[in-house]
Amino acid sequence: KLLTSNSHRSISITNLSRYITTLILAEHESGSIKPQTVSTVVAANHLGESSSVSLLLAGSGSSLQEAASQAASCHPSVSEVLVADSDIFEYPLAEPWAKLIDFVRQQRHYSHILASSSSFGKNILPRVAALLDVSPVTDVVKILGSNEFIRPIYAGNALCRVRYTGAGPCVLTIRTTSFPVTPITESKRATISQIDLSNFKEDSVSRSRYMGQSTQDTERPDLGSARVVITGGRAVKSVENFKMIEKLAEKLGGAVGATRAAVDAGYVPNDLQVGQTGKIVAPELYMAFGVSGAIQHLAGIKDSKVIVAVNKDADAPIFQVADYGLVGDLFEVIPELLEKLQEK
Ligand code: FAD
């Protein structure tokens, strides 16, 4: 799959690899660190053997401190948890958060700055790169050394090997589905330090303003990290019919996904979109009902362990990537499946 490479340009990486100090922008919610942050720590461990990893948590109040305490033991390779506790960081606005990373970097000098390729990380890290006047390397799926990475291009149809040759810190966003977290047996607690923000200056002219946030109360697992994903396509035809997909997801303890066509038709909200311009998923089981298998959709599911597809059309491209394919009508197959699962 490796199509392009600029590896002919040679610079010595041995010196760099000796001094790897990584700052990771952590994501947390309700007093807990998100799984994608731990995957980003796993990725940081591939940068080189002699590396130290610091996690940066920003926010305000008791849930931030709870998350910091959890972050201190989230992975044995984390040596320090830095906490920026201020009302300025109550909401994840890109401008102050990017400035915070720059502020911390000026005091502690990191060779690498990482965040996950979530919408949170993708909002903030390019701005950090702009502040530092460096080129970010985004969507990293493999780390070959401290400055050599593999990332997808052309909607995931080719993998590109890139070497970072900039003078400043290497700024990376990590596609976390490529860095699974293995069970951690070693228990080790990192130190927790509160950042002194007395010299931190906010922009006098703020370009963005927090308006509100809406989250859906659901028992279902997060789409990006679910072990089972059940996806419906345009063929599901309505909001009402999508309830079948939801019911199946509930039965299998999975998350619901959708194609862009289903989202555009208004059957489900757009945070359920899977694919190039949606979420990248890598579950153990991915079930696609009435999904044609467009290249932009496949870009988001190709790391799934087992893909099951149900489609009326035997020539649908989804069958080329499916491990199990059933040519059939989803309106017959899903009720039958629900009935059989009921019996168990
Ligand atoms: P269709 O392509 O219309 O397929 C419907 C399928 O359902 C057909 O294969 C049909 O045979 C089958 N079917 C019909 N009735 C039944 C039935 N009763 N039972 C079983 N099967 C049935 N798409 C994404 O999904 N995610 C993205 O992130 C994304 N990003 C994009 C980015 C760009 C820049 C562009 C240009 C496009 C993007 N798209 C994305 C859109 C993508 O190209 C496709 O249009 C979309 O994925 C098609 O969705 P679909 O499979 O639901 O619909």
The closest residue, in CA terms, to atom 53 on ligand 1 is 234
Closest among 220, 222, 233, 224 to 281, alpha carbons compared: 224
Residue-by-residue pLDDT tens, the chain, 344 positions: 233 333 333 333 444 446 799 999 999 988 999 999 999 999 999 998 777 999 999 999 999 999 999 999 999 999 999 999 999 999 889 999 999 999 999 998 899 999 999 989 999 999 999 999 999 999 999 999 999 999 999 878 899 999 999 988 999 999 998 998 888 777 789 999 999 999 898 765 667 888 887 766 677 888 988 999 999 999 999 999 999 999 999 999 999 999 999 999 999 999 999 999 999 999 999 999 999 999 999 999 988 999 999 999 999 999 999 999 999 999 999 999 999 997 66
Is 296 near ligand 1, meaning CB less than 6 Å away? yes
Mutate which of 267, 276, 308 for ligand 1 pocket (most atoms within 8 A of beta carbon): 276
**Does the annotation place 22 within a ligand binding site?**
no
Looking at the CA of residue 232, tell me the nearest atom of ligand 1: 52
Q: Which residues have C-beta within 8 Å of that of residue 232, sequence separation ≥ 6?
A: 241, 242, 245, 256, 257, 258, 259, 262, 267, 268, 289, 290, 291, 330
Q: What is the ipTM of this complex?
A: 0.99
- d(CA 292, ligand 1 centre) in Å: 5
pTM: 0.82
Looking at the CA of residue 318, tell me the nearest atom of ligand 1: 9
Is 319 near ligand 1, meaning CB less than 6 Å away? no
Is 231 near ligand 1, meaning CB less than 6 Å away? no
**Does the annotation place 295 within a ligand binding site?**
yes
- d(CA 290, ligand 1 centre) in Å: 8
The closest residue, in CA terms, to atom 9 on ligand 1 is 292
Residue 125 CB neighbour total at 10 angstroms: 27
SS3 58: strand
Is 259 near ligand 1, meaning CB less than 6 Å away? yes
Pairing of strands 32-33, 28-29: antiparallel
Structure tokens at 195: 């950042």
Looking at the CA of residue 277, tell me the nearest atom of ligand 1: 28
The answer to whether the beta carbons of residues 285 and 253 sit under 8 Å apart is no
- d(CA 235, ligand 1 centre) in Å: 8
DSSP 222: P
Residue 81 CB neighbour total at 10 angstroms: 25
Packing angle of the helix pair 94-108, 119-132 (nearest 10 deg): 50
